[in-house]
Chain A
Amino acid sequence: MIEENFDAIVVGAGMSGNAAAYTMASHGLKVLQLERGEYPGSKNVQGAIMYANMLEKIIPDFRDDAPLERHLVEQRLWVMDDTSHTGIHYRSDDFNEAKPNRYTIIRAQFDKWFSRKVREAGATVLCETTVTELIRDAKDRVIGVRTDRAGGAIYADVVVLAEGVCGLLGTRAGLRQMPKPQTVALAVKEMHFLPEEVIEQRFGLKGDEGCVIEAVGTTSRSMAGLGFLYTNKESISLGIGCLVSDFAAMVESPYVLLDALKSHPSIRPLIAGSEVKEYSAHLIPEGGYKAIPQLFGDGWVVVGDAAQLNNAIHREGSNLAMTSGRIAAEAIIEVNSRNAPMTKRNLALYKAMLDKSFVVKDLKKYKDMPALLHTNSCNYFTTYPRLMSQAAQNFMRVDGTPKIEKEKATTAAFIKARSRWGLLSDAVRLALAWR
């Protein structure tokens, strides 16, 4: 058969792969994108919130036809104990702007749309095709890939690895290590279908407005984890994620946690009467800055989750994925335009550009958070939520106890639980890690 040669092969059609393939193809590069799923998005699980700004940088007029569910006007942050939640709600009509900032999306649909854009930009996209191997030449440069289809190898000047969190291809090729259990979270999620009107009524929404709840607390059974609830048009995504190492240590099954979350008195009424469909589980890289592997080499770059580019603290992943994909593509376009080879030296441009972007800057800011939350998870995820709940209840309940005594009791409870020194050190450590 005819030998095929491409400027670039992109492995994976998730957020990062699509961003990279789209950017390169629309600059005229000959791009082949390979996706193992039946269609782009078929294997992708995401909560999911999509950040407009990062997509605008790639497809400015995406709002014209992207399948967006709701734009977010309200965010609730909850700290939960077993029967209550204490929360901060922020809602503003400012979010009803002409070009809203955040949307909920359903990945299966969104990825399909994104992929169509990639195809329209001129890339060749093959689904149901798993890349099984990177091909290297005598000098160990990556020069192409082999797939699970009959018919041999395909060659390219550069391979963009956008294969997601497990990144088997790259790890098998020795480009980086498998993510460790303490640096990946396992998130389980269900889609709860409800009529549009019911969702709008329960969350006080109208039209395309949407609401998000993110919750920490005893629901994660002392593990570092987070529950989330996102409103879509006709469904609610509800899920919870915790570090894989914690699941292993606690011998908890994620499903038990999700069940507990669903039956929590603050969540139950929100999903009552829904029809559950699509139970799914997926990994999220949470190692942060310290877990970022080597990002480029001779004939290859790695982007998105595969490169551990995920901001667990802010629940941001897809925007880092899109941005890293775009930047990698821009670096490749730059090298290509100079007619220079895709060597490690030349591709270092990608890392240089990425370092200057919010992607690496944000991850650097929180570099100590993963470790802190991990080692101190019992306090942050159980003790404090319980204390906060007690404090709040103490404050709300009007029972004739003098206010001064109530405050004293609350303070005493905190000190009893964590000691003065403990409280101070928790606060300081959190502040330092946050800084």
Chain B
Amino acid sequence: MSTANRETPRPAAGRAGIKKELPAHFKDYRHVWVFIELERGQVHPVSFELLGEGRKLADKLEVQLAGVVLGPPGEAVGNAVAEAFAYGADLVYIAEAPLLADYRNEPFTKAMTDLVDTHKPEILLLGATTLGRDLAGSVATTLQTGLTADCTELDVDTDSSLAATRPTFGGSLLCTIYTLNFRPQMATVRPRVMPMPQRTDKPVGRVIRHKLSLAEDEIATKVLGFLPDNQSAKANLAYADVVVAGGLGLGAAENLQLVKNLARAIGAEHGCSRPLVQKSWMPADRQIGQTGKTIRPKLYIAAGISGAVQHRVGVEGADLIVAINTDPNAPIFDFAHLGIVTDAIRFLPALTEAFTRRLSPHSRDKLAS
């Protein structure tokens, strides 16, 4: 007869109930660490988001929050350290070496695993960027511990273990994952999933330096060059305050101009759903969603987007979601805050026009008076 086709993604029962005593050699693993991602002089903002989240975990566990900065000797590391404190770190570990100038897996993995082995954190968080994921995967394997990727929620359980929640099956379900019996408990979090914490000027606190015992000629991979993304083409979607996006409902590539026009009028970034990237109507870095960018704007306007779960997981953090769709039953209306059931191709120009009117200097004067 037909096979019973129901399955849980992973047997949630079985080991789930079992909670063995943590092996003795892991008992002294304490404190929460956040990897401060420094590349070419810049700290990736996701590191600050993680410090905000790490602060909450550390407070619940009544332990300290530490930042880990790996980079070349110089000003950049100093700045990164200062910023780490400003965003809530209690102390910072530093490994400074010329061979940490550009990201390469070998020296970074070595530095990070050495630091963990020496100072024994119980939780280690990294941003789910290309760098963070590259590093986290090999660090976790070297340490033989668990790593939960792309978390959307982190919490501390009653027994002090890390409860890492992440979407699974494209966002149709969420699951909460624990790393039992191994330390550190590692997790990566995508940019913009956690809110940016408040920055407060604080003096630089305790800094612990680690000397990397690795020479350049021990590293097989060499960086021959770096080609920065063309600034003009680079979408700063993830960190934009206002985003206007178009979907397949716009019907044709040329209608994307309507989205861009509105975006320009209100100083927003523009983005799109995945099918438009697949059709080459927009470049891949404009894609929003599970396999694109996660965004967290104050205002998100979606035109002609159905709101599939893979899209939804990328925009749910927005403060205000406005959906324009001809189909009143489109799933996007399940999670948008404001909706208009109408033809976006006709409505977008009207909206652009109305915004322009409203925001024109003339009416701004009115607003001021």
- Are A and B direct contacts in the complex by CB distance below 8 Å? yes
Question: Which A residues form the contact surface with B (CB < 8 A)?
Answer: 67-69, 109, 208, 233-234
Q: How far is the CA of A140 from the CA of B2 in the complex (A)?
A: 46
Chain A residues whose CB sits within 8 angstroms of the CB of B280 once the complex forms:
none
Report the minimum CB–CB distance from B306 to chain A (whole Å): 15
Interchain CA distance A370-B250 in the complex, whole Å:
45
**Cβ of B1 under 8 Å from chain A:** yes
User: Chain B 28-70 against A: per-residue CB contact (8 Å), 1 yes, 0 no?
Assistant: 0000000000000000000000000000000000000000000
A67 to B1, CA, bound (A): 6
Q: What chain B residues lie within 8 Å of A109 (beta carbons)?
A: 2
Residues of B within 8 A of A67 (CB): 1-3
Task: Give min CB distance, B295 to chain A, whole Å.
Answer: 29
Overall SS of chain A's interface: loop
Given contacts A69-B2, A109-B2, A233-B2, 5 further A-B contacts (CB under 8 A): A67-B2, A67-B3, A68-B2, A208-B1, A234-B5
Q: Which residues of B contact A68 (CB under 8 A)?
A: 1-2
For window 1-30 of B, CB contacts with A under 8 Å fall at 1-3, 5
A233 CA to B5 CA in the complex, in Å?
Answer: 10
Task: List 6 A-B pairs, minimum CB-CB distance, nearest first.
Answer: A67-B2, A233-B2, A69-B2, A68-B1, A208-B1, A68-B2
B309 CB → nearest A CB, Å: 14
Contact residues in A for B5 (Cβ distance below 8 Å): 234
Chain A residues whose CB sits within 8 angstroms of the CB of B1 once the complex forms: 67-68, 208
Chain B: minimal CB distance from A308 (Å)? 31
Distance between B171 CB and nearest chain A CB, rounded to angstroms: 17
With a CB–CB cut-off of 8 A, which chain A residues contact B2? 67-69, 109, 233
> What is the bound-complex CA distance between A68 and B3, given in angstroms?
9
CB-defined contacts of A233 to chain B, threshold 8 Å: 2
A233 to B3, CA, bound (A): 10
Tell me how far the C-beta of B328 lies from the nearest C-beta in chain A, rounded to whole angstroms. Answer: 16
In the bound assembly, the distance between CA atoms of A69 and B4 in angstroms comes to 11
Q: Across the two chains, which residue of chain A brings its CB closest to B6?
A: A234
A320 to B3, CA, bound (A): 27
Per the bound structure, the CA–CA distance linking A18 and B116 in Å amounts to 60
Complex Cα gap A208–B2 (Å): 9
What separation, in Å, do the CA atoms of A277 and B2 have in the docked complex?
A: 19
Closest chain-B Cβ to A99's Cβ sits at a distance in Å of 13
* Neighbouring B residues of A208 by C-beta, 8 Å: 1
10 A-B residue contacts at CB 8 Å?
A67-B1, A67-B2, A67-B3, A68-B1, A68-B2, A69-B2, A109-B2, A208-B1, A233-B2, A234-B5
Q: Would you give the shortest CB distance from A109 to chain B, in whole angstroms?
A: 7
From A68, A69, A208, A233, residue with most partner B Cβ within 10 Å: A233
